[in-house]
Structure 1
Amino acid sequence: MEITTPSIEVAAKRKKLWLAALKPPMYSVAIMPMLVGSLVAFAETQRLQAGIFVTFVVSAILILAWENISNDVFDSATGIDVNKHHSLVNLTGKKRLVFAIGNGCLGLGIAGIIAIALQQQDPTVLVLILLSCLLGYAYQGPPFRLGYQGLGEILCFFAFGPLGVGAAYYSQTQSWSVGSQVAGVIIGITTSLVLFCSHFHQVEDDIAAGKRSPIVRLGTQRGAQLIPWLCGLVLVLIVVAAIGGYLPLWSLLALLSGISAIRLSLQALTYHDQPVKIFNLKFYAIGFHFWSGVLLSLGLVLPSVL
């Protein structure tokens, strides 16, 4: 049977929608807190428990999958995703199945964290991750839906920053350090920046659904003007942490991520009020999040390697 050009185009479009729905680049958001937290521990102790690290990373990916999937389900209930063609609920038309898959991911992720807690005979890591999950649920889940009040970025900061990075550090050392919490603040800001940048293209949909996102409250211009300051704060924190001895001096390598910060800032300032052109702004933010995290991680490892 001959495959027509329209059929090929429809298949390609559907594949693109599925990729957008599954959000592969977003999973660096789950991996980075685990990577940075564990490597801060390595820089301080010269030890890395590889099995715990791998378990934590896999669990974090599964938990983020739950959050992304359940958010699609919760958003479908409010009607805010009516124009979001890459919503998993809109793609499949099977809300209950999507919700069940999301909850399955959560169960498997928490099981991995329980395994770490049992191995260490210490519930601290489990408590920290459960707190992060609670914040993740409060973001979009009923009856809280705090993301609709513009509080999503604050929840994201704590869940992926001090709590996420702190949990990864504690899983390696069963202790605390200033360095791990400074790193947590850095990762928390860059992660929240990803969420912040995801609002620019959907202001009209947010307003229609009664969602008071930061960009709805600030306007796109003021929101765009805030981005260079947030990026600058991250870079200043890296300098202060390295010079203050909380992180190795090699951590200054992360300043190279300033290139991504400039690209992100220019994109926001230039196209903030053009939904079609600003649609991909969150991917610029993911770029800054990724490179700042990877370069910081490299800076944590290099002193031991050299």
Structure 2
Amino acid sequence: MTNSISYPQKNLWMAAIKPPMYSVAVIPIWVGSAIAFAETNTFKGLCFATFLMSAIAIVAWINLSNDVFDAETGIDKNKAHSLVNLTGNKQLIFWLGNLFLSLGLLGIIAIAWWQKDLTVIWLILLSCALGYSYQGPPFRLGYQGVGEIICFFCFGPLAVAAAYYSQAQSFSAACFVASIVVGIATSLILFCSHFHQVTDDLAAGKKSPIVRLGTLKAANLLPWLCGSIYLLTSLFVVLGSFPVWTLLIWLSLPFALKLSRHALQNHDRPEQVSNCKFIAVALHFWSGLFLALGFVLAG
């Protein structure tokens, strides 16, 4: 059991705020905008900055609201770094989350106003609705083990396409294909976050993929999931969908290897495997950074 006595209060707050996790907001916007630049040779800095801040605010809403919804089911009763547990005020966290959501949507509305086009709003609203369905009542689809699928679409095809559209006001086949790679990398973070909390998930009736597979099978599956990022990128280069520069993504391979080895060696030891998700965050960040850089260099 984890408790607040075990860790300094500052560490608990940092773990609750989850600064590294906000890369899931940054990378889709970076990738979508980079592809738009490569294909149109234009870059709208104001739209990019506004979308980036909006995405960060929306991810803050997701993190805060998930803490609230998890508190309602009791799954976080042993989670010392839950914001609800740290503050003891569920309503405060709930409304703070809604404030971040409002700020994020205001930024998206501004982009749509500048473009005189509602497409970006619809894409982000759909993404937010899916994000709510992950933990929010009455859906709580994450408890049925489909959270990774929701994560894939929210931070892959929907977010990357919206970022591209905010720059080009059109859609792109290359953008869609790249969004698959980004979606897989993002879903890996959620997948890895369950290794250390199997006991709590089982007690709350949450059927995460790790619960369904068992930690050993999940750890053995992880190298294949990581490898798909590189194999798909290489395939799309061969098919001509991606420029050859996107093979820079292979520079992030050490993080994939580290993640796979760490999970396999520690899959059944919660204390040791708990940082698995942060290795997945690093993989997500660097793979997305290099993938987008490949498009920028090609452009």
TM-score between both structures, scaled by the size of structure 1: 0.95
* 1:11–1:220 distance in 2 versus 1, CA, 3 Å: closer
Q: Which has the larger radius of gyration?
A: 1
Q: Is structure 2 residue 103 aligned with structure 1 residue 108?
A: yes
Deviation at 1:154, TM superposition (A): 0.3
RMSD across aligned positions (CA): 1.3
Look up the equivalent residue of 2:267 and give its one-letter code.
H
The structural deviation recorded for 1:301 is 1.4
Partner of 1:227: 222
Equivalent pair of 1:129/1:163 in contact (CA under 8 Å) = yes
Secondary structure in 1 aligned to 2:154? helix
Give structure 1 stretches of 5+ with no counterpart: 1-8
Say whether residues 1:268 and 2:263 are aligned partners: yes
User: What residue is the counterpart of 2:11 in the other structure?
Assistant: 16
Number of the residue aligned with 2:120: 125
Separation in 1, partners of 2:216, 2:81: 27
How do 1:133-148 and structure 2 match up within 5 A? 133-148=128-143
Alpha-carbon distance change, 34 to 11 in structure 1, aligned in 2, over 3 angstroms: same
Among 256, 267, 277, the alignment partner of 2:251 is 256
**Cα deviation per residue 1:214-235 (whole Å; 9 max; x = unaligned)?**
1010000011111100111110
For residues 139-190 of structure 1, what are the alpha-carbon distances to aligned partners after superposition, in whole Å with 9 as ceiling and x for unaligned?
A: 0000000000001000000000000001101111111111000110000000
Q: Distance in 1 between matches of 2:281 and 2:82?
A: 20
2:283 to 284, 288, 293: 288
**Residue of structure 2 in register with 1:41 after alignment:** 36
Q: Which amino acid aligns with 1:229?
A: W
Following the alignment from structure 2 to structure 1, what is the Cα–Cα distance between the partners of residues 185 and 131? 17
Q: Taking structure 1 as reference, are residues 95 and 126 closer, same or farther at Cα in structure 2, changes over 3 Å only?
A: same
- Counterpart position of 2:62: 67
Q: Shift in Å at residue 10 of structure 1?
A: 7.3
Q: Deviations over 1:240-270 (max 9, x none)?
A: 1222222221000001111110000000111
Deviation at 1:123, TM superposition (A): 0.6
Q: Is the 8 A contact 1:62 1:105 kept in 2?
A: yes
Provide the aligned length of Structure 1 versus Structure 2: 296
Question: Is the contact between residue 238 and residue 255 of structure 1 (CA under 8 Å) also seen in structure 2?
Answer: no
Aligned residue identity for 1:111 = L
1:190 corresponds to which of 174, 178, 185: 185
Write the mapping of 1:237-256 to structure 2, written as runs, cut at 5 A.
237-256=232-251
Find the aligned partners of 2:265 and 2:103 in 1 and give their Cα distance: 43
Partner SS, residue 292 of structure 2: helix
